[in-house]
């Protein structure tokens, strides 16, 4: 993948992994557009990176995605890279009924339906510009973290979807899957024992991703994510059991 002179849209780009990628791609000489739900966070990101464009949009809302696509077509017709990064992570105990059934599936709306809808809304412009799609899934696509069952399910589903997307868009749009391990961000703040799960900084993740993109990798699996990939093939029962032990203390009491 060519890493300079691109027009790049990063969903969920106002903080964490998304903002780290925005900074890197700006430094590499790209036009960067970020989205997010919170306008104040978008404004703060723009204060740090004045050259970026910001668009308020909620990845879980179809109407927001349609408006986002219209804005891109009007204001950024050269768009040739889409990074589906927006995501949420919730600890859940499935042994008791949920009080809010809408909230129960919020991770599906953001982590899975969001990328699927965004790609559909932007696929024509990406094809016209010989573009690239980067879907951010997780090492948990291979082995679920039992304390985050819905999150893990969304990442496994996104992995399957991305595999098919790559096949269907072959020769039209490059499709890459980034599968991070645990990353030190606000999302993981307070995650006790994170070092035991191979946590990495955003800088480590970004540098590993850039190296993978330069090498032309279709799946980029830094650190623990790569180990989970191979262990899920070699010893699936063992690695599932190990993650279950580690997850037990994070499952909420009911």
* pLDDT tens string 80-97: 999 999 999 999 999 999
pLDDT in tens, 101-133: 999 999 999 999 999 999 999 999 999 999 999
Q: What per-residue confidence (pLDDT) applies to 189?
A: 53
Which 8-state DSSP code applies to residue 137?
Answer: -
Residue 41 sits at φ, ψ, to 5 deg, of -70, -35
Per-residue pLDDT of 147-191, as tens digits, reads 999 999 999 999 999 999 999 999 999 999 999 998 876 665 555
3-state SS string over 198-213?
A: CCECHHHHHHHHHHHH
Please report the pLDDT score of residue 104 as a whole number: 98
Residue 126 domain-assigned (yes or no): yes
CATH code of 24's domain: 3.40.50.720
Q: What's the pLDDT score for residue 168?
A: 98
In a domain, 2, yes or no: no
Tell whether 1 is covered by a domain: no
Helix (H, G, I), strand (E, B) or coil at 131: coil
Q: Are 179 and 163 in contact (CB under 8 A)?
A: no
Q: Give the domain extent around 69.
A: 7-250
Catalytic residue among 151, 199, 213, 222: 151
CA–CA gap between residue 119 and residue 79 (Å, rounded):
12
Does the active-site annotation cover 151? yes
Global pTM reads 0.94
Residue 19 clears pLDDT 70, i.e. is over it? yes
pLDDT score for 184: 78
pLDDT of residue 197: 58
- State the Cα–Cα distance between residues 75 and 241, nearest whole angstrom: 50
The number of C-alpha atoms within 13 Å of 97 and in the hemisphere containing its C-beta is: 3
Residue 42: the pLDDT is 98
- The whole-number pLDDT of residue 188 equals 55
Tell me the C-alpha distance between 162 and 158, whole Å.
6
Is the pLDDT score of 142 beyond 90?
A: yes
Specify the pLDDT at position 254: 87
Q: What is residue 132's three-state secondary structure? A: strand
pLDDT in tens, 42-69: 999 999 999 999 999 999 999 999 999 9
Could you tell me if residue 201 is inside a domain?
yes
Mean pLDDT of 72-80: 98
Contact at 8 Å (CB) between 62 and 19?
A: no
What pLDDT does residue 187 have? 60
Note the pLDDT of residue 68. 98
Six-digit token pair at 151?
Answer: 């999150």
Domains held by the chain: number: 1
- Pick the closest to residue 29 from 48, 10, 5 (CA basis): 5
Tens-place pLDDT, residues 185-230? 666 555 554 455 578 899 999 999 999 999 999 999 999 999 999 9
- Has residue 127 been placed in a domain? yes
């Amino acid at each position: 993948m060519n890493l300079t002179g691109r027009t790049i849209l990063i969903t969920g780009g106002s903080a964490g992994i998304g903002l780290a990628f925005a900074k890197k791609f700006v430094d590499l000489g790209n036009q960067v557009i970020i989205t997010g739900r919170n306008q104040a966070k978008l404004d703060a990101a723009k204060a740090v990176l004045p050259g970026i464009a910001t668009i308020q949009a909620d990845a879980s809302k179809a109407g927001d995605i349609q408006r986002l696509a219209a804005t891109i077509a009007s204001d950024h017709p050269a768009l040739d890279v889409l990074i589906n990064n927006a995501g949420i992570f919730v600890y859940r105990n499935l042994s008791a009924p949920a009080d809010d059934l809408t909230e129960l599936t919020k991770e599906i709306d953001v982590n899975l339906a969001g990328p699927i809808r965004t790609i559909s809304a932007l696929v024509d412009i990406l094809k016209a510009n010989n573009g690239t799609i980067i879907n951010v899934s997780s090492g948990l696509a291979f082995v679920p973290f039992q304390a985050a069952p819905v999150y893990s399910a969304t990442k496994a589903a996104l992995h399957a979807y991305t595999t098919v997307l790559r096949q269907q868009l072959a020769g039209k749009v490059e499709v890459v899957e980034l599968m991070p391990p645990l990353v030190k961000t606000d999302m993981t703040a307070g995650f006790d024992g994170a070092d035991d799960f191979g946590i990495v900084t955003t800088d480590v993740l970004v540098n590993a991703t850039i190296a993978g993109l330069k090498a032309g990798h279709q799946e980029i699996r830094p650190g623990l994510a790569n180990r989970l990939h191979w262990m899920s093939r070699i010893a699936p029962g063992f690695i599932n059991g190990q993650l279950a032990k580690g997850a037990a203390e994070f499952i909420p009491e009911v």
